[in-house]
Amino acid sequence: MKFCAILLLFILLGINGYDCKIVQFIFGDSLSDVGNNKNLPRSLATANLPYYGIDFGNGLPNGRFTNGRTVSDIIGDKIGLPRPVAFLDPSMNEDVILENGVNYASGGGGILNETGGYFIQRLSLWKQIELFQGTQDVVVAKIGKKEADKFFQDARYVVALGSNDFINNYLMPVYSDSWNYNDVTFVDYLMETLESQLKVLHSLGARKLMVFGLGPMGCIPLQRALSLDGKCQNKASNLAKRFNKAASTMLLDLESKLPNSSYKFGEAYDLVNDVITNPQKYGFDNSDSPCCSFYKIRPALTCIPASTLCKDRSKYVFWDEYHPTDKANELVANILIKRFDFMRADDGTSQAPSPAPNIAPSSDTN
């Protein structure tokens, strides 16, 4: 009789109990997108063509705007968290959410809804949060509110947006924000919006959260190509520094006000600036032009099958006009891990789903 009671208890636990994993929920732009824009049929911001993804998995385009892994990929791998699946991936369902988490990042997306409008389709941060609310409803229906609350509060959250709000909004005269604000008031506008968004995420369970800062935007190949002398554009980089200072202050204030919150600001501006200024110091040969380019036409804007590749992708800081290479992403991820003393989310036995690529010289060289 006692044996039957114990057996029944195990059966009930198996039906009603869920041993949920710690997963990540990532909100971001093309630096973190792992396939959402790939599934937006009208988006002009996509990484669907070769040679994107050439050093990741089977080497085919997977939606990442680089040759390999994103910074979020690498940090998650190294601290033992599963890689979140793109929200718009056809495989997405309740079990995938519970097992892997979700990545809502979208190329061209920004903190502001108006950012990146000329890309036609992209997911702004407000839209990504709206999708996250839908994710919560699905999980609550699957495992119940009590278990779902614990699942979401134990999860890790990354918010990595902001560069598009400058490069594909404020710094472009076609957007009204460029004449309605100045440098100070526009950053204030971003901070007010981001603070509201983080408060909503907290109300939805986000307790352990990192906001990524911006790098020297004026030094990406696109900005250099648009300048008269091929040098970094100081205005864009100074805006990134202003954003980082304001975001760091706002996040500290928010953490002190929101209960049980553990918020970190992941800023690596000085490191990235040093890599760009002194590439040889970090093992790079080139920090001012993209590895994937359309012959000598600049800016090339995107990487396409007709593009030519650099001889050694591990020696370039930038993959295309906007985005870093896998090697550069790995450098930034490792610095952030050391700087914030990340603790593994598992027992330390997890293996990275995809190790650093063994990059071979390209057959198409320039």
Based on the residue annotation, tell me whether 183 is a catalytic residue of this protein.
Answer: no
| Helix H or strand E segment including 28 | strand 24-28
Q: Where do runs of H (alpha helix) occur along 231-325? A: 234-257, 269-277
Rounded Cα–Cα distance for residues 83 and 80 (Å): 9
Distances (CA, A) of 244 to 199, 205, 331: 19, 25, 20
Q: How far apart are CA 12 and CA 66, in angstroms?
A: 47
* Active-site choice (30, 163, 293, 307): 30
**CA–CA dist 106, 64 (Å, integer):** 10
Catalytic residue among 72, 202, 237, 323: 323
Neighbours of 57 (CB within 10 A): 13
Question: Helix (H, G, I), strand (E, B), or coil: what is residue 257?
Answer: helix
Pairing of strands 101-103, 24-28: parallel
- Taking CA 322 as the corner, what is the angle to CA 318 and CA 328, rounded to the nearest 5 degrees? 30
- 293 — alpha (psi -120 to 50), left (phi > 0) or beta? beta
Q: How far apart are CA 245 and CA 137, in angstroms?
A: 35
The residue from 77, 320, 326, 362 that is catalytic is 320
| Annotation says 30 is catalytic | yes
> In the annotation, is 320 catalytic?
yes
First to last CA, the chain: 78
Residues serving a catalytic function are 30, 320, 323
